[in-house]
Amino acid sequence: MTIDAAVPSRRARRGTGAITLHEVARLAGVAPITASRALNKPEQVSEEVRRKVAEAVQRTGYVPNRLAGSLASSRSRLVAAVVPTIAGPVFLETVQALTESLAAEGYQLMLGQSGYVDSREDALLEAIIGRRPDGIVLTGIVHSAQGRRRLLSAGIPVVETWDLTPTPIDMLVGFSHDEVGRAVVQHLRAKGHRRLAIVSGDDERAQRRNRGFIAAASAARLPKVRIVEVPAPTTLRSGRIALNDLLMQTSPPDAVFCSSDLLALGVLTEAQARGLSVPDDLAVMGFGDLQFAADLQPALTTVRIDGTAIGRQAARFIVDRAEGRAVAQRVVDIGFSIVERDSV
């Protein structure tokens, strides 16, 4: 058996066995400092050197140790984001905008899922903070006391999203869930509906929308609001089951507000299976304005949240702080809108 002398032997490596910059430099026939410049400051070396180093990287599968570089610069160029789930599409628009906006500035996004029940946020934060990213983007404003202490003491820029409070940990971009609930009641009342119901996930943000909804209905002296809660993340099936529960009650509702468009799709499906006319027999309203909402029959009236604007603003916050620029306005309320279609 022969060994190609041009390719470094794994036996020569120590520790983890990973290919080192020295081995890449040796294969390219340049000094290690030259190889480093070719990878990190390519404008400082010739095109021929860049080509040789690129070929050596391609042959060896070398991945630069960004941590070593970040120790010198105090920057990792990594941003961590935590969302409850990516199983449901409501947060995907924000994640996509965050990814693209950070990439345009030379930063990469790491994504973690905390879940809804028995949230893993504290464990994720411990792992994230230990890796010293340039910023952390969180979903919501409700965190454990331990998690909040860690974030405050870490000295890492933090952006909370998809919520609103005058007292964020650091920076915030979102909207008021309470105001969403109140605005939905006003919209349904204007359409002549009085017997209102809620089909909702059991997560904290949905429950705050519910409280705003109930307060507005009570202030308008409407009949008591009926509520059916289902586990988050919500599904089409849970929407069907929830409407079945509501229709079993005395004095069934004439309008249902759902905490997600997926739930609303389930409610619409169950209503049609029972021969109910939407919106004549039952009005249905969703939350999220997902892509399918406009294509349903009838098209779904829903609450639109500009997830792209949330992601872009969160990225701007992080990059400004990482680059040492002052952030004058640390709380941005992007608001919401009601998209009126045919289901109400």
Question: Beta 331-333 vs 301-304: how paired, if at all?
Answer: unpaired
**Predicted model pTM:** 0.79
Of 105, 106, 107, nearest to 79 by C-alpha is 107
Provide CATH 3.40.50.2300 ranges for the chain: 77-175+307-334, 177-304
Q: How do residues 241-257 score in pLDDT, each as one tens digit? A: 999 999 998 889 999 99
Q: List residues bridging with 83 in a β-sheet.
A: 113
Query: Which architecture does CATH list for 177-304?
Result: 3-Layer(aba) Sandwich (3.40)
Cα–Cα distance, 269 to 258 (Å, whole number): 13
Name the residue with higher pLDDT: 11 or 301.
Answer: 301
pLDDT of residue 70: 52
Question: Is residue 199 within 8 Å of residue 236, measured between CB atoms?
Answer: no
Tokens of 250: 């005395």
In which band, very low, low, confident or very high, does the pLDDT at 65 lie, cut at 50, 70 and 90? low
Q: List residues bridging with 78 in a β-sheet.
A: 108
pLDDT of residue 320: 96
Q: Which CATH number fits domain 10-64: 3.90.1310.10, 2.60.120.560, 1.10.3720.10, 1.10.260.40?
A: 1.10.260.40
Strands of 158-161's sheet, edge to edge? 108-113, 78-83, 135-139, 158-161, 171-174, 331-333
Provide CATH 1.10.260.40 ranges for the chain: 10-64
Mean pLDDT, range 299-303, rounded to an integer:
98
Taking only Cα atoms into account, the Rg of the chain, rounded to an integer number of angstroms, comes to 26
Q: How do residues 315-329 score in pLDDT, each as one tens digit? A: 999 999 999 999 999
Secondary-structure percent of the chain, ordered helix, strand, coil, rounded to 5: 45, 15, 40
Of 162, 253, 163, 250, nearest to 199 by C-alpha is 253
Question: Is residue 171 within 8 Å of residue 330, measured between CB atoms?
Answer: yes
CATH 3.30.465.10 is held by the domain 77-175+307-334: no
